[in-house]
Structure 1
C-alpha cells in the first residue's frame, strides 16, 4: 500500500493470495497477477467472482473475441484483478496496453519459478525480471510457499526488487501428518493406504509419465476411481483431467510434478509420493497441496535407493560447477530426510531456517519413536572435530578423522595429529553420519551449500561444546526390518474420526447439496463452500441467516445466493434425527 516491493513466503493455505487481493481492492486501478497455470487462474477468478469481486483472466485458451473483451474491460477500469500467464508479457498488444494504462500493483505468484535454484518450470518466468525497469514506481509483490535462503536471494535479484520487505511466515503445517516408508511393493502399500482414505480427495505423484500411466491402470483395475495427468497428454486431456479432479468427479489424481503448481483445491486429504522428489523444496511444495483447509491431512512418502541412484546418475552427467554442487547438496538433504531419526517436522522447518526443537507428535517418527540416548558426548566429539579442522570440510571427512582413517588427505593436512583423531573408532561410519544428520536437523551444525557442503558450527553449538545443555539424540538404527517399518506405517495412517455417525450423515448431505449447486454453476464445489465451512455448519447447526453468517467462509453474497438452501438442508436433518 506504501508503494514498496515485497517478497512473501507463506505456506500453502496460509493466505498468500490475501496479501495482494486486499491491496488490489483498496488501490485505484487494476492489479495484475502473473500466475503459472491457466486452470489455477480460472479457479481463482471463479472464486473472486463468487465473492462479488471484479476479476478476469487473459489466456491463450480464450477466443480472440474473449481476449478483446477482457482487454476492453481493463481499458475501461472495470477489472480489479487481472490474471495472466508469464507468456502474455511478451505479446505486443498486452505490452502496449499496460504501457498506456499501467497497473496499480503487480503480483507474481509461485515466484520460486524465477529462481535458478527453484523448480525448473518455464523460461518465460525470466522475462518478468524486466518489469521493474519498465515500471520502476509500481510496487511488485512476489509470493511463494517454498524458498530457502539462497532461492530468496535469487528471486530478489532476478526480479530486480528494490529493497523489498521480506515476510517469512512459519513453514509449519501442523495438520499434515508426515509418514516416510521404504518402498518395497508400491501397489500394495498404496492400496493399503487408500483403504483408509475412502471418499477422500488425494494426489499420487510418480516420477515419470510411464509410471503415472502404469499406476493409474493398476489402481483402476482394483476398482479405484482415478485420473492421470502428465505432459505427454494433450492440453485438452490434461484440462479435462484437472477439471474432473477439481470438481470432485474423480477423487484420486495420479500425476507427475507437471500437475498441481499452486493448485487451489482446499479439500485434498492426502498426498502420496510413489517416488522420492529431488529436493526438500519440491517435497514440501507437493505435500503442501494436502489440507489447505486446515483439516487433518496425510503425506506419505515411499522411498527407495533406486530413486536416489537415478538422480545421482543424472547429476554425474552435468558439468562441474556451483550449480551442480548445490543440486548435489539438495539431493543429499532429501536422502537425509528419508533416513532421519529426528521428528520429520523439525527436519523440514530447520531446513527452511525455522529453528524448532519441540517434537510435533504428528509424524511417523514421533508417533512410533525409536530409542533415544544421551548424545551430548557424541555431539561434542563431532562439533569439536568440525571446529579443529577449521570448519572447512564435509561430513565424510569429519567421520574419517573421528574414526582414525588412514586417508592420505588427512595426513597431508596434518589432521592425524589432532586430539580428536580416532576418538570415534568404536562406531561405524554410518553411525557418525546419522549423528551428524541429527545435529544438522537440530540446527547445531550448518552446511555451506556453495562450498561443497562443508560443515560449520551454529551459534547454538557453543552450548553443546560447553556442556550447558542436555541433548537427547535418537540411537542410530542402521538396519531397519521391513516388517517393523510396514507395521509402523500401517498404524500411522489411521486418522482420528472427528465426526459422529449422525454428523457424518449431515456432512455428506451438505456435500451432495454443494455438488449439485456447483454443477449448475459449472464451478468446483469448494467455490460454493469449503469443507471447513461445511464442517462448522455440522458442528454448530445454524438455525437462521444471522447464525449462518457467523460460519467461516460465509459472506453476505454467499449468504444471499446459497443461505436458504443450506439452512433448509440442516433443518431437514434436525427434524428427521
Structure 2
C-alpha cells in the first residue's frame, strides 16, 4: 500500500497529475521491481509516462531507443518542463554538433541525466557503445517497438540489432512499448528482444469516441473541402501516400481558403518543424502529410483524421486514426477508398524480395477487407488486434449507423468452411474463392482442384460475395489466417463446431466500391450539369465570337462552358477557376458570361452550392515559369525539353496548358525555322474559320502529308496566343 502511495505522490510531484491512467501504475511498479515489461497501449493512453516516471525514481540513467529525431526533441522538451535542470533529459543522435554531444555526455556522466533518448542508428556506433558501458543504466525503453517486426507497419532493420547491443553494453531490464501490434507482431518483438518471459500489459484498443467511415474515392478533394468547411476551426490531419499529392492537396486547400500546410520527409527540416509548430500552436487548422508526420504528436484536440489514400496496413491506419480525439472528445476518421489505389500499391511492391512482397500483400488485403466490409468497423479493427468486441452495434461507425440489409447465410458459411476442409487447410482465401466460383487458372489446374467435387459449386455468386463470407467467418473465429504461412486458412474449433451443428447465421453484402467508382466515371462524377444554361452560354459564345471576329472555341472551349453550367460562376475571380479558363481569358471575355449567369441564377432561384466550387491550383505546372522564361529568351524547344528531362510531346502539353490558362507564348522564332510562311498562313486561315481547333480535323482538312501532328499543335498554340489572348 505504501508503495502505491509513494508512486502517486511521485506522479503528483514530478508531473502534477492526481491519478494514473489505465495500466500505467502496474506497468511502472513492474519496472521498479526490475522486471522486463511489454506495454501495448493505444495512442493517447499515456505510454511515455510509463518510462518517464520510473527513470526519475530509479538510480542511474534510462536509455530510451526511439525512431524519430522530431519525436525525441518533443519528449526531451516536455521532460525539461517538468524539471528545474535542463540536463535531466537529453537526446543523442546525428543532429547534434560535436560540442553539443560532449555536453550531453558530461551531463550523463555527472548523473544529472535521468533520461537519454538514442536513435537505434546512434546506438550501434562504437564510440557510443563504449561510452554507455561506463555509466549506470537503470533500464532500456524501446519505444515504437513494432518497428522490430517485418509484420509491423513501420519495419526498421536497425531495430533488430538492439538486443545484441544491449548485451554488449550491459544488461538491465527492458520495457518495450507500442501503440499498435497484432498478436504476431507482439510475439516478434518479445522474441527479438529476448523478453518472452516479460510481463505483458495490454490495454483495450477500443477508442469509443472515434467515428470510422470509408467513402468511395470520387471527387475526394471536393468532399474533403466540403467536410473541412462544415468543421471550420477544428484541427485535422490528412494523410496522403505520396509527397507530390501532399503538396498538391495542401495548395488546393489553401486556394480554397483553408489554413493548411504540407509535411513530408522531402522538405527541409526547418520547413518541416515550422509547419509542425504552426499546427501545434493552432496558426493553421490542417496539416496534409505523409506518414512521416505524427509519431509522438501530443496534440489532444485533433478532431479529424482523413486518409486521402488508403494506408498500406491496418496497423498504420489504426495508429494514424488514433491521433484524433486523444482528449476523449470528438474524433472523425474518414478514409477514401478505391481498389485502383490497392493495385497501385501492389505495383510499388514489385522488385522487392518475395518474402517482403508476400507480407506487404497480406497486410494490404487486410486493409481491403476492412474497407469493403459492411460489418461494424470497430469489430473488424479490434479482431485484427486480437481483441473481441462483443457489442453488435457500436453506434459510431458508418456501417453501424447505416446498416445494410441482412440475409440468412448459413448455407454459404457451411460451403466456405467445407471448402477449407476439402483442400486440407493449405490455401489462402483467394484460391478457395477461385475453386468455389469455378475459376480456371494455372494454380487451380496445377493442384487439380478443378477435379474437386466442390469446384464451381458457388458459381451462382461472385468473388466479392465469397470474400465477404470468409471475412465474416474470420471475425466469428470459425477460421484463422496462419500468418507464418502468409495467410493460409485454417479451421478453428468454433468452425468445426459450426459444421457439426449449424445454427442460423446472418450475412450482409459488402460495399462494392468498384461498381460505384465505374458508375461515377461513366456519368462524369457526381455534379449535375444545367443543360438549359449550357444552351444559353453557347448562344452567348456565338454572339461574342461574331462581335470579335474569332471562332467560338477561341472564346471558351466546350468543357469550360460545361463547367460553368455546373458551378455557376458569377464573378471574374470565380470564372478564372473554371476548367480551361485562367485569369487572362476570364478578364478578356468573361464579363458578358458572368453577368448572364448571375441573372440566370437570380431569375431561376438557383441555390449556388458556392461552398462546393473547388478552386483548382491555377498554373500548378512545375515547369511553367521555366518554359515561359526560356521561350522569352528564344531558346530552342528541343533544348527546353531536354533541360527538364521531358519528351517533346510533354513539352507541347505543358505549352498548351500555359496558353489555355491565359498566358501568351511567342513561338514565331521557332516556328519560322520549321514551317514556311505560306503553310503558316494556310493553318492560321483554317483555324480562323473552323468550328473547332481539333488537330485530327485540321490534319484531315489540310493533309497529313504536308503537316505533322506536332507542327499542327505548335500552330494551334501560336493561333491561340495571337487571337485568343
Q: TM-score, normalised by structure 2?
A: 0.62
Structure 1 pair 247–356 and aligned structure 2 pair: CA distance change class (3 A): same
* Corresponding residue SS for 1:105: strand
Q: CA deviation at 1:310?
A: 1.0
Q: What whole-Å deviation, never above 9, does each CA across 1:443-470 have from its counterpart, x for those lacking one?
A: 3221223334221112222343244654
CA distance, structure 1, for counterparts of residue 161 and residue 449 of structure 2: 50
Q: TM-score, normalised by structure 1?
A: 0.77
Q: CA deviation at 1:268?
A: 1.4
Find the counterpart in structure 2 of residue 553 from structure 1.
Answer: none
Question: Is residue 264 from structure 1 mapped to residue 295 from structure 2 by the alignment?
Answer: no
Q: Which moved more, 1:287-296 or 1:210-219?
A: 287-296
Question: Is residue 307 from structure 1 mapped to residue 341 from structure 2 by the alignment?
Answer: yes
CA distance, structure 2, for counterparts of residue 189 and residue 349 of structure 1: 28
Find the counterpart in structure 1 of residue 268 from structure 2.
Answer: 234
CA distance, structure 2, for counterparts of residue 483 and residue 75 of structure 1: 65
Structure 1 pair 5–53 and aligned structure 2 pair: CA distance change class (3 A): farther
Q: What whole-Å deviation, never above 9, does each CA across 1:179-211 have from its counterpart, x for those lacking one?
A: 111111121011011123211111111111111
Question: Is residue 155 from structure 1 mapped to residue 203 from structure 2 by the alignment?
Answer: no
CA distance, structure 2, for counterparts of residue 93 and residue 478 of structure 1: 57
2:435–2:444: 8 Å Cα contact kept in structure 1? yes
Alignment of 1:46-65 (within 5 A): 46-52=77-83, 55-59=88-92, 60-65=94-99
Q: Which moved more, 1:244-253 or 1:274-283?
A: 244-253
Question: Is residue 331 from structure 1 mapped to residue 355 from structure 2 by the alignment?
Answer: no
CA distance, structure 1, for counterparts of residue 399 and residue 126 of structure 2: 55
CA distance, structure 2, for counterparts of residue 62 and residue 41 of structure 1: 12
Q: What whole-Å deviation, never above 9, does each CA across 1:418-462 have from its counterpart, x for those lacking one?
A: 664554333223221221122223332212233342211122223
Find the counterpart in structure 2 of residue 384 from structure 1.
Answer: 418
Q: CA deviation at 1:267?
A: 1.8
CA distance, structure 2, for counterparts of residue 399 and residue 307 of structure 1: 22
Find the counterpart in structure 2 of residue 572 from structure 1.
Answer: none
Question: Is residue 173 from structure 1 mapped to residue 204 from structure 2 by the alignment?
Answer: no
Q: CA deviation at 1:325?
A: 1.6
Structure 1 pair 482–134 and aligned structure 2 pair: CA distance change class (3 A): same
1:350–1:443: 8 Å Cα contact kept in structure 2? no
Find the counterpart in structure 2 of residue 340 from structure 1.
Answer: 373
Q: What whole-Å deviation, never above 9, does each CA across 1:116-154 have from its counterpart, x for those lacking one?
A: 332446554344232331245300111111122332233
Find the counterpart in structure 2 of residue 78 from structure 1.
Answer: 112
CA distance, structure 2, for counterparts of residue 484 and residue 441 of structure 1: 31
**Two-structure CA RMSD over aligned residues (Å):** 2.8
Q: What whole-Å deviation, never above 9, does each CA across 1:500-532 have from its counterpart, x for those lacking one?
A: xxxxxxxxxxxxxxxxxxxxxxxxxxxxxxxxx
1:53–1:80: 8 Å Cα contact kept in structure 2? no
Find the counterpart in structure 2 of residue 248 from structure 1.
Answer: 282
* Corresponding residue SS for 2:507: strand
Q: What whole-Å deviation, never above 9, does each CA across 1:479-500 have from its counterpart, x for those lacking one?
A: 7657999xxxxxxxxxxxxxxx
Structure 1 pair 191–406 and aligned structure 2 pair: CA distance change class (3 A): closer
* Corresponding residue SS for 2:387: coil
Q: Which has the higher contact order (CA 8 A, sep 6+)?
A: 1
Q: CA deviation at 1:409?
A: 6.1
Structure 1 pair 182–318 and aligned structure 2 pair: CA distance change class (3 A): same
Larger Rg computed on CA atoms: 2
CA distance, structure 2, for counterparts of residue 71 and residue 104 of structure 1: 16
Of residues 387, 406, 415 in structure 2, which corresponds to 1:372?
Answer: 406
Alignment of 1:390-405 (within 5 A): 390-404=424-438
CA distance, structure 2, for counterparts of residue 402 and residue 240 of structure 1: 55
Structure 1 pair 53–103 and aligned structure 2 pair: CA distance change class (3 A): farther
Structure 1 gap ranges (5+): 486-577
1:176–1:298: 8 Å Cα contact kept in structure 2? yes
Question: Is residue 282 from structure 1 mapped to residue 305 from structure 2 by the alignment?
Answer: no
Find the counterpart in structure 2 of residue 41 from structure 1.
Answer: 72
CA distance, structure 2, for counterparts of residue 424 and residue 124 of structure 1: 47
2:79–2:89: 8 Å Cα contact kept in structure 1? no
Q: What whole-Å deviation, never above 9, does each CA across 1:64-85 have from its counterpart, x for those lacking one?
A: 4444333322222223222232
* Corresponding residue SS for 2:90: strand
Of residues 170, 180, 197 in structure 2, which corresponds to 1:146?
Answer: 180
CA distance, structure 2, for counterparts of residue 209 and residue 58 of structure 1: 28
Q: What whole-Å deviation, never above 9, does each CA across 1:274-306 have from its counterpart, x for those lacking one?
A: 111111111111111112222220111111222
Q: What whole-Å deviation, never above 9, does each CA across 1:332-377 have from its counterpart, x for those lacking one?
A: 1111211111111111111111122423221111111111122222
Structure 1 pair 307–10 and aligned structure 2 pair: CA distance change class (3 A): same
CA distance, structure 2, for counterparts of residue 25 and residue 469 of structure 1: 57
Of residues 10, 23, 36 in structure 1, which corresponds to 2:41?
Answer: 10
1:375–1:472: 8 Å Cα contact kept in structure 2? yes
CA distance, structure 1, for counterparts of residue 147 and residue 423 of structure 2: 38
Find the counterpart in structure 2 of residue 221 from structure 1.
Answer: 255
Alignment of 1:132-143 (within 5 A): 132-143=166-177
Q: Which moved more, 1:453-462 or 1:473-482?
A: 473-482
CA distance, structure 2, for counterparts of residue 343 and residue 421 of structure 1: 32
Q: CA deviation at 1:50?
A: 3.5
Q: What whole-Å deviation, never above 9, does each CA across 1:547-572 have from its counterpart, x for those lacking one?
A: xxxxxxxxxxxxxxxxxxxxxxxxxx
- The count of residues paired between Structure 1 and Structure 2 equals 485
* Corresponding residue SS for 1:104: strand
Q: CA deviation at 1:412?
A: 6.9
1:114–1:126: 8 Å Cα contact kept in structure 2? yes
Q: Which moved more, 1:418-427 or 1:403-412?
A: 403-412
Find the counterpart in structure 2 of residue 89 from structure 1.
Answer: 123
Structure 1 pair 113–182 and aligned structure 2 pair: CA distance change class (3 A): same
Find the counterpart in structure 2 of residue 354 from structure 1.
Answer: 387
CA distance, structure 1, for counterparts of residue 512 and residue 212 of structure 2: 21
* Corresponding residue SS for 2:493: coil
CA distance, structure 2, for counterparts of residue 368 and residue 270 of structure 1: 20
Q: CA deviation at 1:247?
A: 2.1
Question: Is residue 98 from structure 1 mapped to residue 129 from structure 2 by the alignment?
Answer: no
Structure 1 pair 316–441 and aligned structure 2 pair: CA distance change class (3 A): farther
